[in-house]
Amino acid sequence: MEHTDKKTAFNQGLIIFIFLAVLTALEFFIAIVMDAVVLLIFIALIKAGLVIYYYMHINRLNREDDGPEESYSFKTNTNRLGMWLFLLSDSFIFGGLMVARINLLGLTRPHLDQSLGLVVTAVLLISSFFMNRAETAMEHGDRKGFLVGTSLTLILGIVFLLGVVGIEWPQAIHEGITASSGAAGAIFFMMTGMHAFHVLTGVIFLVIILRNGARGLYNEEKHWAVEAATIYWHFIDVVWIFFYPALYLIGELL
Amino acid sequence: MNKLKPIWRALLLLLMGGFVGYALGVGLDALIGGTVDFVAPISGVFSLLGSATAFFFGLIGYRGITKGLVYQIIGTFVGAGFVTAIRAFMGLETFGSFFFTEPAWVFGGLVGTLSFLSGVGAFADWYKWAKGESTPEHHQDPEGFIKYFGVSLDHKIIGIQYTVTSLFLMGVGGTFAMIFRTELAASRLQFLTTTFKAFDQNGLQFYNTLMSLHGMVMIAGILLGVAGMINYLAPMLIGAKDMAFPRLNAFSFWIAVPGALLLLSALFLGGFDTGWTGYPPLSTRSPLGIQMFFLGVYMVGWSSILGGLNLIATVVRLRAKGMTPFRLPIFVWAAIATSIISLTATQLIGLSFQLVMFQRLFDMGFFDGTRGGNPVLYQHLFWFYSHPAVYVFVLPGLGIISELLPVFVRKPLYGYRWVAMSSLGIALIGFLVWAHHMFASGLNEYLRVPFMYSTLLVSIPTGVKFFSWVATLWKGKISTPTPMLFVLGGIIVFLIGGLTGPPSATVSTDLHLHDTYFIVGHFHGTIFGGYVFPFFAAIYFWFPKATGRRMSEKLGKLHFWIMTPSFLVMTFAMMRVGLLGMRRRIADYDAMLGFDLTHLITTIAGYLIFISVAIFLYNLFHSMNHGEKAEGNLWNSRSPEWLVPSPMPVHNYDQAIEVVGEPYDYGLAGSKYVDFTNNK
């Protein structure tokens, strides 16, 4: 376990969040003023890299074992590898959807509500920030900070779900983009639906760790479930980092 | 006599359960149809479920798999009923020709699968974890054969569960092949002229369904067989106590069981006529059976994905001390290569099937050209998995060949590092070759040649393997007990399958060979050589490890000497008719083409293979209780699992293993592979 100071860790999370927020805003404005797909892909890659490195802590995969095979830390290292392998596998679904979107729509996009898209993206990004705070708090044994952070993440996650499924979907249908209207509608509902399904499972995961955390089942040494939920939640954010420009920003309106 | 009892009770109940299910199906059909129809289409699926449930009830009582099946039936009804209620509320059509409507069957199939898993108990520990309770690392398994019919966390039990399920599925798939091969024995239609009302299909549709299901049931069987070998062997070979995630391991096996049932239920729910590839737009218009096919493959796919995940984590984390990457057994290298494919690429066949499923359910236009969709997109997504999938099938088998060859040649394996890397090489190149299945699909011209060369590249690592095998055999002290016979047979058959690959991969020849029986001959050659022969070799070789008894050598040799010549005749005959213009997937051909005799020979050879496998199955089940005792290091192997008693103790090795030398240094004086340390 690296023993970084709690305050330093919180600050790092904040700085990364600011970077992500600025990049998202930049992305949005670039999409408005010019037609620069390569630049948008580049920004998305930077954002994903920041989340994967600083929020999902991919470098923890390199952690040395400091106990025998039966110890909690050894098993956590194994679990962490399993989790990342699962995400690798899962990313192939999203990759496949992205391929389908590029194949069917090319450099066009459906007519969607831009401000709503930006809002839900921001909501998911902020939820990632609080998730990071929650995990950092748990790592330093701050249970209250953990509970507050997780609750906020949970609420923002539900807001995201409501925003996409409850507002964006009916609006799209109202605009004539339905599941059966054509390839664009089909791809839009498939991509957002698959992502929303993952958000829903993430929300369930958060409810579980919130409940068990409130009952004091985790401590600063043993909190694998919290770490797993955190990695999963950030993964959902990474997926959206690519889906947001793919659905809202890239290409000309259909 | 006491041992026979449960099986007779089970068979009796199977009949009764089948009858009860049949009556239920007829009753439900009468409920919506108004008239009693004794060959109602849904009576088949209910008698299948009823007989399976009753069979296991007779065998083991209400626990384990029986409970799972009961839950699955109830879950299917609840799920389908839920959708039906919603449809009734929305004023949509509520009942179809298979009682429920298509969306109701799909949702019912999904809920049924989840219900099976909770009924059998695969979720139990995770549910407790979610509630914040901790569970013991290992459950105590019940004594006797019952332990194979419920959730167990022991990798050896799961490996045997996988293997037996695999043999069952391959038996079913083989039976399908026998039926349609009989029809193909002569030109003109013989017995497929009638309508099979119980299946709601006419003769030709029934042929298509059997042909398609032969493909996919075999593939499911092979995937489970691969998982069986990997599960049983990998932890033992690397000196681990178990897989890294035992619960996930059990889950991976048990999700395949309802998946296989869903797949088989396609036969009774109208079938499907697309072949195992399920290309749209045909698959968007197929009968209901195609949805069950999609769902079934989806579940078996998850089994494969999670099994691959588990294997990689196990090998990375739980190797014995001193087992450096280049001291890993070749089979484990092959298992890693396989798992990399199944972990990642499998998602894309799932996605492609899911997209067609959604196109059917919600009228989404992914593959509908009139609405901006693209049918070729499906083929890309599908083959991105389904080509590497054949490497999932053959790599473990090729690993088995490299693993067993030195044991029976008493010489070191030639070029260990090259062979280890060749498995990874095949797997990685396998990701770059998928479009060679699409040369005739209207693929962009400029994509053909790169995909041709990437495909031809596969022959290099495969050639490395062949070179190593031949060089290992060179001047060895060869002995030929049954496993070695199958290893040698595998090498020869795989050579034939392999050599017919390049002509199928080269654009100019493929445009002629595409969709002919030549491809069928090529495919069967690679799969028999790369999977079936090594799988049998592995069973003959490790059967004593699992049971403490050995299989009959006499019957084993009979099995080999019937199967090998028959198979060679069959595959060459298939290739011959293919070159002469026989299309694959069709029920009939013109007598004027002049290959009636070759087709007849193919069918007879197919029957002989079927008989030889029946001999094998008899040998397998007979030897479990009556085989010759074999408790020591029967094959004089260096591998650690043969240095401990058979059957293998529950946690594999009482003492920790330390690897101190190279794994395949047979015949070298003073060489040592493993040491048992006494520190625990």
- The verdict on whether omega for the bond into residue A110 sits within 30 degrees of 0, i.e. cis, is no
CA distance A154 to B45: 43
pLDDT tens string A71-121: 999 999 999 999 999 999 999 999 999 999 999 999 999 999 999 999 999
ipTM of the complex: 0.94
pLDDT tens string A29-56: 999 898 889 999 999 999 999 999 999 9
DSSP assignment letter at B327: G
- Nearest CA-CA partner of A174 in A115, A124, A119, A110: A110
Residues of B in Cβ contact (< 8 Å) with A189: 362, 364
CA of B450 vs chain A CAs: smallest distance (Å): 20
Establish, for the pair of chains A and B, how many residue pairs have beta carbons separated by less than 8 Å.
Answer: 105
Report the pLDDT value the prediction gives residue A169, as an integer from 0 to 100.
95
CA of B389 vs chain A CAs: smallest distance (Å): 15
Which candidate in A81, A89, A201, A223 is best for mutational testing of the B interface (most B CBs within 10 A)? A89
B344 to A69: CB separation less than 8 angstroms, yes or no: no
Q: B323 is in which domain, residue-wise?
A: 145-629
Residues B584/B520, Cβ–Cβ less than 8 Å: yes
B380 to A179: CB separation less than 8 angstroms, yes or no: no
- Nearest CA-CA partner of B524 in B504, B552, B496: B496
Neighbours of B652 (CB within 10 A): 19
Please report, for chain A, the start and end positions of each structural domain, with discontinuous segments joined by +: 6-63+76-253
pLDDT over 50 at B321, yes or no: yes
- Nearest CA-CA partner of B356 in B441, B280, B407: B280
B659 three-state secondary structure: strand
Which candidate in B364, B444, B447 is best for mutational testing of the A interface (most A CBs within 10 A)? B364
In this structure, chain B runs to a length of 680
Residue B295: inside a domain: yes
B136 three-state secondary structure: coil
pLDDT tens string B329-351: 999 999 999 999 999 999 999 99
User: At A109, phi and psi to the nearest 5?
Assistant: -150, 155
pLDDT tens string A153-168: 999 999 999 999 999 9
- Nearest CA-CA partner of B311 in B281, B333, B279: B333
How many structural domains compose chain B? 1
CA distance B41 to B18: 15
Residue B354, burial from CB neighbour count under 10 angstroms (0-12, 13-18, 19+): buried
Q: Are strands B201-202 and B628-629 parallel, antiparallel or unpaired?
A: unpaired
- Nearest CA-CA partner of B132 in A222, A216, A232: A216
pLDDT tens string B504-513: 999 999 999 9
Residue B642: inside a domain: no
Interior/surface letters A105-139, b for 16+ CB within 10 angstroms, e for the rest: beeebbebeeebbbbbbbbbbbbbbbbbbbbbbbb
CA dihedral A224, A226, A232, A233 (to 10 degrees): -170
Residues A180/A203, Cβ–Cβ less than 8 Å: no
Q: Are strands B549-550 and B628-629 parallel, antiparallel or unpaired?
A: antiparallel
Residue B21: inside a domain: no
Report the pLDDT value the prediction gives residue A3, as an integer from 0 to 100.
56
- Nearest CA-CA partner of B328 in B671, B644, B675, B664: B664
CA distance A200 to A208: 13
Report the pLDDT value the prediction gives residue B277, as an integer from 0 to 100.
93
pLDDT tens string A229-246: 999 999 999 999 999 999
CA of A51 vs chain B CAs: smallest distance (Å): 22
Both tokens of residue A131?
Answer: 């998730």
Neighbours of B428 (CB within 10 A): 15
Residue B44: inside a domain: no
Neighbours of B101 (CB within 10 A): 19
Chain centre to alpha carbon of residue A27: 17
Helices assigned H by DSSP within B95-141? 102-120, 124-130
Report the pLDDT value the prediction gives residue A105, as an integer from 0 to 100.
93
- The verdict on whether omega for the bond into residue B645 sits within 30 degrees of 0, i.e. cis, is no
CA of B275 vs chain A CAs: smallest distance (Å): 23
CATH architecture of A6-63+76-253: Up-down Bundle (1.20)
Residues B478/B408, Cβ–Cβ less than 8 Å: yes
B364 to A185: CB separation less than 8 angstroms, yes or no: yes
CA of B267 vs chain A CAs: smallest distance (Å): 29
> Which domain CATH number covers B167?
1.20.210.10
Residues of B in Cβ contact (< 8 Å) with A99: 377, 380-381
A97 close contact with B: CB closer than 8 A: yes
Residue B382: inside a domain: yes
Report the pLDDT value the prediction gives residue B199, as an integer from 0 to 100.
85
Q: Which residue of A has its CA nearest to B382?
A: A96
Report the pLDDT value the prediction gives residue B596, as an integer from 0 to 100.
93
Residues B243/B314, Cβ–Cβ less than 8 Å: yes
Q: Which residue of B has its CA nearest to A189?
A: B364
pLDDT tens string B565-596: 999 999 999 999 999 999 999 999 999 998 99
Report the pLDDT value the prediction gives residue A1, as an integer from 0 to 100.
46
pLDDT tens string B18-55: 899 899 888 888 888 788 888 888 888 888 889 999 99
Report the pLDDT value the prediction gives residue B680, as an integer from 0 to 100.
45
Residues of B in Cβ contact (< 8 Å) with A216: none
pLDDT bracket for residue B554 (50, 70, 90): very high
pLDDT tens string B57-83: 988 888 889 999 999 999 999 999 999
pLDDT tens string A181-218: 889 999 999 999 999 999 999 999 999 999 999 999 99
pLDDT tens string B84-128: 999 999 999 888 888 899 999 999 999 999 999 999 999 989 999
Residue B598: inside a domain: yes
Q: How far apart are the first and last CA of chain A?
A: 51
